[in-house]
């Protein structure tokens, strides 16, 4: 699947948001339920997030250039970060509306029709979310995954709202509607915080997930032989692209050709084990004491963590 196809899924998310906003607004207008209003407001966030995802995916697909030699993949983190922030803002708005209705409850109207419309909107969201989650996971796109998880949150939100409105119709307790809306707001906050946290982790060059690092070490273990060691394994991720660098130490009497052939095999095996990865290796001599001076990111720091003179 080509990277450019990801923008098509962002467009699908935008279309789904437009449809669900229309349906949920109709449901709120029919019933007057603040719970259904909160559901519609979250879909507005989905729409804004969809446009942001489309813009950032377009940027992320640009090839590396002189000013961006590592590519533009980190643009995806801006999209997911913005969407997470919008989710938190939506949750605050829902909370304010719910508290007002909790203080001044009012009866709901035409509940049956309103719930039917809301359920239809939820089915649209669920279908699109499952598709985006599958594609995002396959293509390692945090933007599509964030969008998908937001849509799934929207679905569970709708389930809660529908259940709350149904309970109002059954029990006649009007304050149950805003109480459900407050629960929805709390759930949205949890999702938003998680998305923002993951986006910040990407921008801060957090190491690859444990499973990827384990896969790399398994490859290295397969290349272990007499006189060959590895250190300074550093990893990070930028959008769909994963960057892996390490130092390979070999006996000092090896020829450059022999060392180069080993590095080529190691790089190829790592790329096979960790998809969408770019691998950098550095050949060093086991017989040179300075080979052990660069196990930290800043080579000029000595073992005590102080600057060498």
Q: Do 282 and 175 have their domain in common?
A: no
Total structural domains in the chain? Answer: 2
- pLDDT, residue 304, reads 45
Q: Do 93 and 221 have their domain in common?
A: no
Q: Do 95 and 149 have their domain in common?
A: yes
pLDDT confidence band for 45 (50 / 70 / 90): confident
pLDDT at 61 over 90: no
Using DSSP's 3-state secondary structure scheme, residue 288 falls into coil
Range of the domain at 228: 210-292
Q: Do 197 and 218 have their domain in common?
A: no
Q: Does any domain span residue 306?
A: no
pLDDT tens per residue across span 100-121: 767 776 665 556 676 777 788 8
CATH number for the domain spanning 123: value is 1.20.1510.10
DSSP state for residue 224 in the 8-state scheme:
-
Q: Do 113 and 197 have their domain in common?
A: yes
Q: Which of 161, 181, 203 is the last residue in one of the domains?
A: 203
Q: How far is CA 102 from CA 94, 131, 177, 266, in A?
A: 12, 37, 8, 63
pLDDT tens per residue across span 124-180: 889 998 998 888 877 777 778 777 877 777 777 777 767 776 777 677 776 776 777
């Amino acid at each position: 699947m080509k990277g450019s196809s990801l923008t098509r899924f962002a467009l699908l998310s935008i279309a789904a948001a437009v449809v669900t906003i229309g349906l949920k607004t109709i449901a709120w207008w029919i019933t007057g339920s603040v719970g259904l209003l909160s559901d519609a407001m979250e879909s507005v966030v989905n729409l804004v997030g969809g446009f942001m995802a489309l813009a950032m995916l377009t940027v992320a697909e640009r090839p590396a250039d002189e000013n961006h030699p590592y590519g533009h993949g980190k643009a995806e983190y801006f999209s997911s970060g913005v969407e997470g922030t919008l989710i938190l803002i939506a949750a605050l708005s829902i909370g304010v509306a719910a508290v007002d209705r909790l203080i001044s409850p009012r009866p709901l109207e035409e509940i049956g029709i309103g719930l039917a419309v809301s359920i239809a909107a939820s089915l649209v969201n669920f279908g699109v979310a499952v598709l985006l989650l599958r594609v995002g996971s396959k293509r390692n796109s945090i933007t599509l995954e964030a969008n998908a998880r937001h849509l799934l949150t929207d679905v569970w939100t709708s389930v809660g709202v529908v259940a709350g409105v149904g309970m109002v119709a059954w029990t006649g307790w009007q304050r149950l509607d805003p109480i459900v809306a407050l629960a929805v707001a709390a759930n949205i906050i949890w999702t938003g915080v998680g998305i923002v946290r993951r986006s910040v982790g990407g921008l801060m060059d957090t190491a690859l997930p444990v499973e990827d690092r384990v896969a790399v070490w398994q490859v290295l273990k397969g290349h272990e032989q007499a006189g060959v060691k590895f250190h300074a394994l550093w990893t990070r991720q930028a959008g769909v692209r994963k960057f892996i660098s390490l130092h390979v130490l070999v006996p000092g009497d090896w020829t450059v050709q022999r060392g180069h052939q080993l590095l080529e095999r190691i790089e190829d095996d790592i790329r096979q084990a960790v998809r969408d990865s770019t691998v950098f290796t550095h050949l060093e001599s086991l017989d040179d004491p300075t080979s052990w001076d660069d196990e930290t990111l800043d080579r000029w720091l000595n073992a005590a963590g102080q600057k060498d003179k």
